[in-house]
A and B are shown apart, each in its own frame.
Chain A
Amino acid sequence: MSADFREKSKIMDSEAMDRTFARLAHEIIEKNKDFEDSLCLIGIRTRGVYVAQRINSHIEKIIGKKIPFGVLDITLYRDDLTLVGPGPIVGKTEIDFDLAGKRVILVDDVLFSGRTIRAAMDELIDFGRPRIIQLAVLIDRGHRELPIRADYVGKNIPTALQDTVEVRLSDIDGQDEVVVLEKV
């Protein structure tokens, strides 16, 4: 993150996030009742992975076990590589199970333009033919540039286009919180 941003507001703290992950887990199981055996979670690198892991922990509390889990790196499918900052760093995609016939819950931290999700879907379909793809995000901040919507949303936040929404996770950022940053 560049130094020209200033924290504008804190949207969620650690407890709020945990409650939200729990709710999302419930919604996913509810909506896919009777099909639990074909469910799987695919987290989009980088933060989507940790969000998916949290949700999977809550799923375990509900149905007694975690569902199959995969990691998707969408760098090679982006349509806007030159607009990305330094890098590009291509991470590893790790999906060690067959996607055919599966109900895939794609997970990301923030839904914004929708381009990341578009790239993720293209990549998933190159892997195989899932039965259904649903999208779960912690934050939906609006400003879609493509016709993409989430099935499961942690929180809807109205934001200004120049703002940045940061989902911080203790796994990599030291603490759990969601903040909105504005450009100075």
Chain B
Amino acid sequence: MVWTRKDLLGLEHLSKEEIKFILSTAESFKEVSKREIKKVPALRGKTVVNLFYEPSTRTRVSFEVAAKRLSADVINISAESSSIKKGEALIDTGKNIQALKADIIILRHNCSGAAVLLAQNVDLSVVNAGDGWHEHPTQALLDIFTLHEKFGRIEGLNISIVGDISHSRVARSNIWGLTKLGAKVTICAPQILIPPAIEEMGVSLTSDLDDALKNADAVNVLRMQFERDEQKAFPSQIEYFKNFGITQDRLKKAKKNILVMHPGPLNRGIEISSEVADGNHSVILEQVTNGIAVRMAVLFLVAQGREKK
């Protein structure tokens, strides 16, 4: 398997082998974070720019730590920056960063397809840190890495994703990655939050939480944002918690060793109870740790991919 991509824009067009390759590379990087000196010189002298049009602490910090552990120089540009506020086009911003001879742009943007647009117009590497509702590949990769660590495989696992699927880039990327690696994916959401034709992506559907948890090896709990219009159609946060919230009682009806995952940040008492979030089933914090290894692997690989071009 030869890694040739200069970008990581999503999991939809990655092959099973490519996904596996990222995961095995990430395994080697996990060890680096256990060392006394958590640094390797792999990206020494390379400049990584975090270009975030949407605010984010966890993802941005995770990428920053990953880049720094690879000895890269990291620059952070946020939506608050003046040029973005002045309405500079994405492609122009990208070209400007390219003129500074940066090597990698990590882009988070509120429009689906923004990462694809940027990658088509610049020569440096583009890593998608979340574009609109479209994809969040590194989140899905770290989710899958965590599952693989716990179960030793992905094939044949039953994974349920619960929450606002229609607006979730985490859900989409997970669906691509998991189905390509042979897992059985079930999505569970209120009718109004299930997007059309999603079965064509190879998933099963249900609006019954117990149904979704019954045979699941793991459940990935998505954040519920009540600011969105469609979600306002939901009676209340309490209603949502009652019908779709992951609680200890719900888990009693599931497999004994079911894992509970969440991309964060948590809305305790809305999509997940504190008890579960802090309990034995939860691997939420491990996801965060694995996120560093996965992002180090991704940055390393896209840098190699670009050099080969």
Contact = CB atoms under 8 A, between A and B. Distances in A.
Question: Within the complex, are A and B direct neighbours (CB within 8 Å)?
Answer: yes
Interface of A: 73, 75-77, 81-82, 86-94, 122-123, 126-128
B40 A126 contact: yes
B27 interface: yes
Contacts of A93: 28, 31
A76 B42 contact: yes
Interface in B286-307: 297, 300, 304, 307
13 contacts: A76-B32, A76-B42, A76-B300, A81-B304, A82-B304, A87-B2, A89-B24, A91-B28, A92-B27, A92-B31, A126-B40, A127-B37, A128-B36
Given A88-B3, A89-B25, A126-B37, 9 more contacts: A81-B304, A82-B307, A87-B3, A88-B304, A92-B28, A94-B31, A123-B40, A126-B40, A127-B35
Nearest to A125: B37
A93 B42 CA distance: 14
Contacts of A82: 304, 307-308
A88 B29 CA distance: 13
Contact of A86 (B2, B27, B28): B2
Interface of B: 2-3, 24-25, 27-29, 31-32, 35-37, 39-42, 70, 297, 300, 304, 307-308
Contacts of B24: 89
B35 A126 contact: yes
Nearest to A90: B28
User: Which among A73, A94, A123, A126 has the greatest number of chain B C-beta atoms within 10 A?
Assistant: A126
Contacts of B31: 92-94
Contacts of A92: 27-28, 31
A84 to B, nearest CB: 9
Contacts of B297: 90
Contacts of B40: 76-77, 123, 126
A129 to B, nearest CB: 10
A50 B32 CA distance: 23
B41 A76 contact: yes
A90 B300 contact: yes
A77 B41 contact: yes
A77 B44 CA distance: 10
Contacts of B307: 81-82
Nearest to A119: B41
A122 B41 CA distance: 9
A73 B42 CA distance: 12
Contacts of B39: 126
Contacts of A126: 35, 37, 39-40
Contacts of B308: 82
